[in-house]
Structure 1
Amino acid sequence: MATLSMSKKKLFIADYEIHASIKMLYPYIQTASGLAEWFADDVTINNEDKSFTFFWDSEEHKARLTAHRTNHFARFEFLPENDNDSRDPSYFELRLEFNELTQSVYLKVFDYSDFDDHKELHDLWDGLVEALRKTVGG
């Protein structure tokens, strides 16, 4: 009897200050064209089933926008690639928050995946958010 290797998924959370308005940032976290400018090599949307396809290093990963609130957040759940994914799907959520005290806008990142190198994941998100900052001038 074969044993399945079950990788435990972990939740990564980080906050990034971005010097731009929430209304300006929202399209960059929720639309295929906005995400393609900083998050992936390219992002397309299938109009039939409303799935997003993210391209990184010539690999494609399909996801659905499972929840969003205009000018607040977008959550993408990756479509299952195996039985384990079906039971416990990977997702990422990008949340825009405004701090009244400092008048600052923050991008809060939630990344739930089986990526096990926390430092490498942190470096990855640091680089992605830096690309977003350059794109929006913030």
Structure 2
Amino acid sequence: MSDRVKIVLEFPVRSSAPMLYNFLSTPSGLAEWFCDDVNSRGDKFTFIWGDSEEVAFLVRKKQSQFIQYKWDYDESDEKFSFEFRIEIDELTGDGLLLVTDHVEPEEEQEMRLLWQSQINTLLRTIGS
């Protein structure tokens, strides 16, 4: 396996942290924007796109702040495959969603575009 590249994308959001966190951490929230459907049992999340399924495990989370997932096929030394992190400026109330992913170098541009598309769908869904 080649060395993977860490990418971090930032998206301004106009949403409360608890509401946004719900869309990033629950099967019903994720199914609104990330994939067609999600099943979960404990820390195991099965993401469904049409006839395709991918399994990820919840690695770590902190309510309304961040959540990390690791794909079951990810054999890298990285602690997580992808992470959603919410930052809210206490003075202005402005929000920022940070998406961190670890990707193969040859897939970096494609994954950046995919995340931009996915997060744009999320932002439309939450009215941000």
TM-score (norm 2): 0.88
Larger mean Cα displacement after TM superposition, 18-27 or 94-103:
94-103
User: How many Å apart are 1:115 and its aligned residue?
Assistant: 6.0
Are the equivalent residues in 2 in contact too, given 1:115–1:121 (CA < 8 A)? no
Q: 1:9 maps to which residue?
A: 4
Which structure has the larger Rg? Answer: 1
Letter in 2 for 1:11: K
User: How many Å apart are 1:25 and its aligned residue?
Assistant: 0.7
User: Deviations along 1:50-91, whole A, 9 cap, x unmatched?
Assistant: 3101123422111111100001011001113xxxx3343561
Q: 1:10 to 1:107 in 2, by over 3 A?
A: same
**Aligned residues between the structures:** 127
Structure 1: runs of 5 or more not aligned: 1-5
In structure 2, the residue corresponding to 1:8 is in which secondary structure?
A: coil
Larger mean Cα displacement after TM superposition, 89-98 or 19-28:
89-98
Letter in 2 for 1:32: P
Is 1:25 aligned to 2:48, yes or no?
A: no
| Among 111, 114, 121, the residue aligned to 1:121 | 111
CA–CA separation in structure 1 for the residues paired with 2:8 and 2:107? 14
Is 1:78 aligned to 2:71, yes or no?
A: yes
Structure 2: runs of 5 or more not aligned: none
Q: 1:58 maps to which residue?
A: 51
Letter in 1 for 2:34: F
CA–CA separation in structure 2 for the residues paired with 1:29 and 1:93? 9
TM-score (norm 1): 0.82
> How much identity, in percent, do the aligned residues show?
34
